[in-house]
Amino acid sequence: MSATKSWIAAKSWIAWMLVLGCSGAKPEPAPVPEWQAVFEDLPGALLRVFGQDGVVYAIGADGDGRGPLVLRFDGASWRRLATGATGDLWWGTVLGADRVRMVGEAGLVVDYVPSADRFEILPKPTDSTLFGVWGASENDVWYVGGLPALSSGVILRGDSVSTRPFEPQPTETSSATMFKAHGFSSSDVFVVGQRGTALRFDGQRFAPTEVEPKLPLISVHGTAPDALYAVGGGASGLIVRYDGEKWADETPTETPQLSGVWAVDRETAFAAGFNGRIYRRSAGVWSEEAGPIPTYEDLHGVYVDPEGAIWAVGGRLATDPPTKGVLVRYGAPISSETEN
């Protein structure tokens, strides 16, 4: 049994034994975790998967003219949500108990309010594409993006009143698009992007941190400022880990470009990338998931939920708009039934 299967099975067994202890009924066998292709060949690629309180969101490209693809899973079934917007959504984050913020093409910013089941389209803070968003709170939100073809970037910060370019804008934004932001407080935020750019905000300004090699960093995630992971690459992939002082290259051999990373704890993390490849870090070593993972499409985002299930999304990322959306998952099988 693989390390991942043992890890998920153990969590499932503990949950099942708790149920058994509260019931006199003879239990059915606990579901066996497995890889499942929940969705394939969706009209738009899925670019981000994330969740809160048992609800999972998968968001992505506007591949059918109906607006960006936004899918919501409530634990039993899926529903496609109508944003009222047009264009691709590249990233999203949960801001508090009742607000989900999503960002994307040409400065698109939309909020979903779960309690009211409604979307709000917010004023565009920029004409550049926003590839990442992270918030310390609803009133302190960071946006990053730019124009990759021109190697130009932008970092913006929003409060309850407005969103505007952060000043002083780091000099790196003049030559590199910023792809993702992740933080731990309003005064400790990391931003990564083209040319191996990795910036850290200390509450007043951004300072560069040194990453080698100088390959694009596409995503960043961690559970503490001294246990942070970033992934990216070009012709080959790149995985680096920040220990609070410096970045260390942890890339396994023959790794393809990677676009998504999720840290479970300080030492355990998952990364996803081209050709449906997924990697897991355990005991300081990255190794490829044995699978078989049921897709060869490129994966752009990965998420591990509180129950230990692994979710990954992607599609044909090189097309405009990205198409052929996929969502694969490791855990007990779930429904792919969708209400449009």
At 290 the pLDDT is 85
Q: Which CA distances in Å does 324 have to 37, 63, 111, 180, 328?
A: 13, 9, 25, 23, 13
Interval 132-154: pLDDT, tens: 999 999 999 999 999 999 999 99
Q: Which CA distances in Å does 315 have to 140, 291, 297?
A: 32, 18, 5
State the first-to-last Cα distance of the chain, in angstroms, to the nearest integer.
38
Instruction: Examine the pLDDT at 51 and tell me if it is beyond 50.
Output: yes
Interval 266-275: pLDDT, tens: 999 999 999 9
Q: What is the CA radius of gyration of the chain?
A: 19
The overall average pLDDT reported for the chain is 94
At 121 the pLDDT is 97
Interval 195-225: pLDDT, tens: 999 999 999 999 999 999 999 999 999 999 9
Instruction: Examine the pLDDT at 25 and tell me if it is beyond 70.
Output: no
Strand order in 118-121's β-sheet?
89-94, 100-104, 109-113, 118-121
Residue 252: Cβ-neighbour burial (10 angstroms; 0-12, 13-18, 19+): middle
Structure tokens belonging to residue 140: 């302190």
Residue boundaries of the structural domains of the chain = 1-32, 34-333
Class for the domain spanning 34-333: mainly beta
Q: What is the pTM of this model?
A: 0.91
